[in-house]
């Protein structure tokens, strides 16, 4: 791992605030979401009010993540086309609405941000750097957006 990059994954470790499981409520689309993970997962069901509301009410981001795994068939059909944009919207809200988190993100300067785990090769680096790291890319895009505003 490069010592200039910032690696994160668990919310109780350095830069864990970048995790979608980090408890930092956001107000978005007329609701208060306990975490960005709750918001992101609920967006998979915007046309299904029951699933949407169920996720909004779950106590933890882990529960929101697990809920979706058991209700895959009800997921919106365009999800793969919109998920990156939805993640950006959620992350932007998080860092705009929490000044200390904004300060932390901006303190990273121009360093590369990497979600580091073997658990995901789309949102994270796959643990070995071969993953897409889309969450890291999204956070760097949010950081750029916040610098310009």
127 neighbors 116 (Cβ within 8 angstroms): yes
Length of the chain counted residue by residue:
149
Can you list the domains of the chain with their CATH numbers? 6-148 (1.10.357.40)
Across 26-30, average pLDDT: 97
pLDDT of residue 93: 98
The Cα-based distances of 56 to 52, 64, 65, 94 in angstroms read: 6, 8, 12, 16
* Mean pLDDT, rounded, of the chain: 96
Q: Mind listing the pLDDT tens digit for each residue in 85-129?
A: 999 999 999 999 999 999 999 999 999 999 999 999 999 999 999
Residue 113 pairs with which residues in a beta bridge? 6
**How much of the chain, in percent, has pLDDT values that exceed 70?**
98
Helices marked H in 71-133: 79-97, 99-106
Choose between 1 and 45: higher pLDDT: 45
Residue 46: the pLDDT is 87
> What span, in angstroms and rounded, lies between the C-alpha atoms of 1 and 20?
22
CB-CB contact of 114 with 107 (8 Å): no
- Note the pLDDT of residue 1: 47
Q: What is the pTM of this model?
A: 0.95
Q: How far apart are CA 74 and CA 65, in angstroms?
A: 15
pLDDT at 47: 87
């Amino acid at each position: 791992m490069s010592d200039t990059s910032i690696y994160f994954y668990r919310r109780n470790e350095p830069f864990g605030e970048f995790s979608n499981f980090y408890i930092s409520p956001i107000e978005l689309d007329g609701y208060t979401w306990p975490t960005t993970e709750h918001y992101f997962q609920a967006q998979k069901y915007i046309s299904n009010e029951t699933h949407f509301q169920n996720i909004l009410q779950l106590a933890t981001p882990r529960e929101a993540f697990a809920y979706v795994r058991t209700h895959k068939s009800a997921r919106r059909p365009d999800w793969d086309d919109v998920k990156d944009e939805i993640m950006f919207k959620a992350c932007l809200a998080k860092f705009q609405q929490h000044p200390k988190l904004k300060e932390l993100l901006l303190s990273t300067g121009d360093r590369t941000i990497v979600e580091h785990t073997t658990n995901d090769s789309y949102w994270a680096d796959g643990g070995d750097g071969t993953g897409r790291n889309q969450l890291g890319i999204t956070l760097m895009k949010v950081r750029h957006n916040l610098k310009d505003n």
